[in-house]
Amino acid sequence: MRAPAIAALAVAAFFTAVTTLFGSWYTIDQGERGVLLRNGAVTGVAGPGLGFKMPIVDDIVTFSVQDRIVTYERLAAYSRDQQPADMQVSVNYRLVPEQVVDIYSRFGSEEAVVARLIQPRVMSELKTVFGRFNAVTAIQERERLNAEVRAAIAEAVAGPVIITGVQIENLDFSDAYEASIEQRMLAEVEVQRLRQNAEREKVQAEITVTQATAKADAVRAQAQADADAIKLRGEAEAQAIRARGEALRDNPNLVGLVQAERWNGQLPTTMVPGGAVPMLGLNR
């Protein structure tokens, strides 16, 4: 019976040696960093690649340094005008590779970082920033709200974590308040439509007045032109009559000359007794 026992012990020793040998090697992925421990004390940081550690006494704790995301459902906050809201917020973060030792010393794990550092800051800063917005403003200026929340959280989460993004994915008010906001927005749209119609009618009226004024000016100008033409014709005719009168006054025989120029050479066939023959002035 001693031989089987010895064989069993040899097999156990062999498997123990193999397990110990292969357990002395570790691999760190490109997106990770490892904290090396010896008897629980930190001895260094392991980068990506294959490494060796002492069996039994050495251990390694890995941390992902890639971008990660954590989502919080139904975070409650009040707006500036005391309207309650529930929000769904996603936070993108990344552990600083050079500070994994500090992360291990202070928190022990990535889950503890999220629970003890990121989550409290997210809730606190979200309430603070959201409290500066009225409910309507938070809805209408969602992008500005999101930017201010991100900046506040990134500043508050100081230390071995970098906040790379914050998204307010959903913003819910009470059904009654959302209905009132919708009615208010519809009323504002109707007011804008009426204002636009009024402006359009005002412009159309101004165009009509301008056209009427231009037409009246044209008629007035035409009437003035006609009046000026009549005046000029009257003045010309008066001047011609005046010139003719002056010519008759200065030349008494002008009338006879004109009659002689226009006479066709025929004497009248009938004459009144005692009448003179036209245009024949005979000297006695």
Is 153 inside a domain boundary? yes
- Does a structural domain hold residue 150? yes
Residue 23 in this model has a pLDDT that exceeds 60? no
Provide the CATH number for the domain around residue 153.
3.30.479.30
* pLDDT confidence of residue 136: 87
Is residue 178 included in any domain, yes or no?
A: no
The predicted structure's pLDDT at residue 259:
67
Are residues 203 and 152 part of one domain?
no
81 and 59 within one domain: no
Q: 112 and 198 in one domain?
A: no
| Listed residues 23, 39, 63: the one ending a domain | 63
Q: In which domain, by residue range, is 131 found?
A: 68-173
Sequence-ordered strand ranges (E) for 29-104 = 32-38, 41-46, 49-52, 58-64, 68-78, 84-95
> How many structural domains does the chain have?
3
Asked if the model's pLDDT at residue 176 lies above 90, the reply is no
Please check whether residues 167 and 84 belong to one and the same domain: yes
Confidence of residue 215 (pLDDT cuts 50, 70, 90): confident
For the chain, give the mean pLDDT: 82
**Sorting pLDDT into bands at 50, 70 and 90, what band is 180?**
confident
Tens digits of per-residue pLDDT, 192-207?
888 888 888 888 888 8
The candidate with the shortest Cα–Cα distance to 57, out of 20, 15, 97, is: 20
Percentage of the chain beyond pLDDT 90 is: 40
224-236, pLDDT tens digit by residue?
888 888 888 888 8
Number of neighbours of residue 91 by Cβ within 10 angstroms: 25
Domain membership of residue 151 (yes or no) is yes
Please check whether residue 197 lies inside any domain of the structure: yes
In a domain, 116, yes or no: yes
Confidence band of 31 (pLDDT split at 50, 70, 90): very high
- Residue 134 inside a domain? The answer is yes
